[in-house]
Structure 1
Amino acid sequence: MQEFLIPARPDLQAARESWLKMLARERRLSALTVEAYERDTRQFLQFLTGHCGGSPGLADIANLRPADLRAYLAARRSGGAGARTLGRGLAGVRSLLRFLERRGLANAAGAAALRAPKQPKSLPKPLTAADAKRVVSAGEQLAEEPWIAARNSAVLMLLYGSGLRISEALGLTGGELASADDRVLRITGKGGKTRLVPVLPVAMQAVAEYRRLCPYHLDPQGLLFRGARGGPLNPAIVQREMVRLRSALNLPKTATPHALRHSFATHLLGRGGDLRTIQELLGHASLSTTQIYTGVDTARLLEVYEAAHPRA
């Protein structure tokens, strides 16, 4: 993780560092989530530096009142932060305070009593089935080197065909999907939750073609997907390739790698898949998280109705 100057006294700095390590090692949150929590709590400490008139320590954070936290949210809002950003920032502060409370170093009651900003209602924006098939097709990849085009196709195929998060796909090892018999992946996702995910034959073929063309030795204990120089494949590379595909295939800006995961769920639901099974395949802790896809399917039905019905 990149080093930053933390506006806090040494006792609070050390406690916060222990909290971040706990998130990564014990709760097994993704690296991106830990980075977001690090950034949000750093901004909170920067606010407290001005709010308290100096770098805060454990004594300053021990008994924060709801009024202090409301002032923090107001400051972030005036800086242009939206409801989602504010909600995530408050969640990070609450997590840190609960961590400190369990160690007898703070009181988290003030943060728990504060109502999070109301989140705007929005639905996932999946691709159509036809567009999703074009995105994952090896023939549509834009990379000049054949092995990189095959790699991109295999990664995107796993996002759409198995509903993987990009971090889950890029975390696969060289020992996985090495045989035609490997039809099921054991994925450890957010919060250390493990699930079994089937792999389509077409996805297995895409991975096999990548393996055949990859110029680097794929050690069973190392990472499966490699960057151009043989190191770990950075998620930003996949995201950048998706931007290029959007332009080439005339797709909307909502066509992102994560939209392929949304497409996986929406298309399963549209073909009669039940919510409980889709929940398990996606690795959602709560069925309510999965239920949002019923709204996507309903919205699409209404669009078709309004476009086709003569009295609509």
Structure 2
Amino acid sequence: MSVKRRDDGRWLADVQPIRGQRFRKLFDTKGEALRYETFILANKAKDSGWNPKASDRRKLSELVTLWYDLHGHMLKDGLRRKTRLDAMCVRLRNPVAAKLDASVYAHDRRIRSENGTSPKTLNNELGYLRAVFNELRGLGQIDYANPLELVKPFRIDERELSWLTDDQVTILLDSIRKHSDNPHVEPITLLCLATGARWSEAEGLIPARLRNGSVTYSKTKSSRVRTVPIDPALETFIREHWKRHGPFTGSISSFRRALVRSGIQLPKGQASHALRHTFASHFIQKGGNILTLQKILGHSSLAMTMRYSHLAPEHLAEAVRLSPLAGHILRSH
């Protein structure tokens, strides 16, 4: 690679930036030849074809750690997600992230499904892993497409929401009052039934958030603060309870034992959440407004609240009025 003068007095620029293609051109002056040499070298230095970028060899676990450092630590469940993601890295044998094979992931998911892992859990894990690639790409840490972008989640049948009848509420409260080994179970249960709160929200209530006949829940699942009015008698009951027993403590295990003693059968995983469903179901059945219910429950979207809409009185009345048997006399045999 040089600029040389030929016997005929002209100047030859012979440029070969890297092994392969050469650039040769004749010029009348040495200055022109040198400028051409500089031009070729400068432009080819910018050409990705001549300067291929080193492939990203970072392991999947490295990306998970990077995701947590840059984004995951800000999430409420960030540490729990990272634990799940770390376990996935181990099961997938911690491949180079850029070369993660969607079929390998799908095979691992199938094995997990056959071993009893629920479709919802598997869908959550897929979402967590996708989010790692999406977030890091958005932050400019990776420049390749999400390798799991086209993997489809499992289709999950909508689960029936369990709720308690008035008689079952009475039975449950009797079981708690007569046999509970934890004094906090009753007031927390009453709060859930009266305000539609999640168990953790009611359990975390402090005196400063109970005032003027209303309860304020903060640090909720949707990260929104919401205030729900309650009966003055319930406010008095809770304040007197705090004077006698102090702040609420972890009581969910005691609640589950009381539920078992009551004999009430609920679907798996809906023990304490049934109290929230009970509030919502009774609210709608008694003519409550669906938009008001959304605000009380703290749902981020109305679609979540609409699960209870089929319990509205007018909805149930239409089922009778608009059925094909409407107007026909049914005879007993």
TM-score in terms of structure 2 length? 0.67
Question: Of the two, which has the highest radius of gyration?
Answer: 2
Q: Find out whether 1:206 has 2:237 as its counterpart.
A: yes
Q: 1:183 aligns with which of 197, 201, 214?
A: 214
Tell me which residue corresponds to 1:244. 257
How far apart are residue 133 of structure 1 and its match?
4.1
- Find the aligned partners of 2:171 and 2:79 in 1 and give their Cα distance: 33
- Find the aligned partners of 2:226 and 2:137 in 1 and give their Cα distance: 32
Tell me which residue corresponds to 2:158. 121
Q: 2:199 aligns with which of 136, 156, 166?
A: 166
Q: 1:91 aligns with which of 123, 127, 132?
A: 127
Counterpart mapping for 1:295-310 below 5 A: 295=310
Q: Gaps (5+ residues) in structure 1?
A: 1-7, 25-32, 50-54, 217-223, 226-232
- Find the aligned partners of 1:247 and 1:310 in 2 and give their Cα distance: 42
- Find the aligned partners of 1:196 and 1:259 in 2 and give their Cα distance: 21
- Aligned-pair identity (%): 22
Q: Find out whether 1:266 has 2:297 as its counterpart.
A: no
Counterpart mapping for 1:1-80 below 5 A: 11-12=62-63, 14-18=65-69, 19-24=71-76, 33-34=77-78, 37-49=81-93, 55-56=94-95, 60-62=96-98, 64-80=100-116
Deviations 1:19-76 (A, max 9, x none): 431212xxxxxxxx55653443233212221xxxxx44xxx22454543442332232
Deviations 1:127-165 (A, max 9, x none): 112322443469725235xxx42x211111111111111
How far apart are residue 13 of structure 1 and its match?
5.3
Q: SS of 1:123's equivalent?
A: coil
- Find the aligned partners of 1:86 and 1:176 in 2 and give their Cα distance: 37
- Find the aligned partners of 2:283 and 2:264 in 1 and give their Cα distance: 21
- Find the aligned partners of 1:37 and 1:297 in 2 and give their Cα distance: 38
Q: Find out whether 1:278 has 2:278 as its counterpart.
A: no
Q: Is the 8 A contact 2:175 2:261 kept in 1?
A: no
C-alpha spacing 1:43/1:202, structure 2 compared with 1 (3 Å): farther
C-alpha spacing 1:9/1:285, structure 2 compared with 1 (3 Å): closer
Q: SS of 1:190's equivalent?
A: coil
Q: SS of 2:91's equivalent?
A: helix
Counterpart mapping for 1:131-170 below 5 A: 131-136=168-173, 140-143=177-180, 148-149=182-183, 151-170=184-203
- Find the aligned partners of 2:225 and 2:145 in 1 and give their Cα distance: 30
Q: SS of 1:111's equivalent?
A: coil
C-alpha spacing 1:175/1:69, structure 2 compared with 1 (3 Å): same
- Find the aligned partners of 2:254 and 2:150 in 1 and give their Cα distance: 44
More strand as a share of residues: 2
Which ranges of 4 or more aligned residues in structure 1 deviate by more than 4 Å? 33-36, 136-139, 295-298
Q: Find out whether 1:102 has 2:133 as its counterpart.
A: no
Q: CA RMSD in A?
A: 3.2
Tell me which residue corresponds to 1:28. none
Question: Which deviates the most, 259-268 or 166-175?
Answer: 166-175
- Find the aligned partners of 1:79 and 1:248 in 2 and give their Cα distance: 31
Q: Is the 8 A contact 2:85 2:128 kept in 1?
A: yes
TM-score in terms of structure 1 length? 0.71
C-alpha spacing 1:39/1:124, structure 2 compared with 1 (3 Å): farther
Q: Is the 8 A contact 1:162 1:200 kept in 2?
A: no
More helix as a share of residues: 1
Q: Is the 8 A contact 2:92 2:105 kept in 1?
A: no
C-alpha spacing 1:11/1:46, structure 2 compared with 1 (3 Å): closer
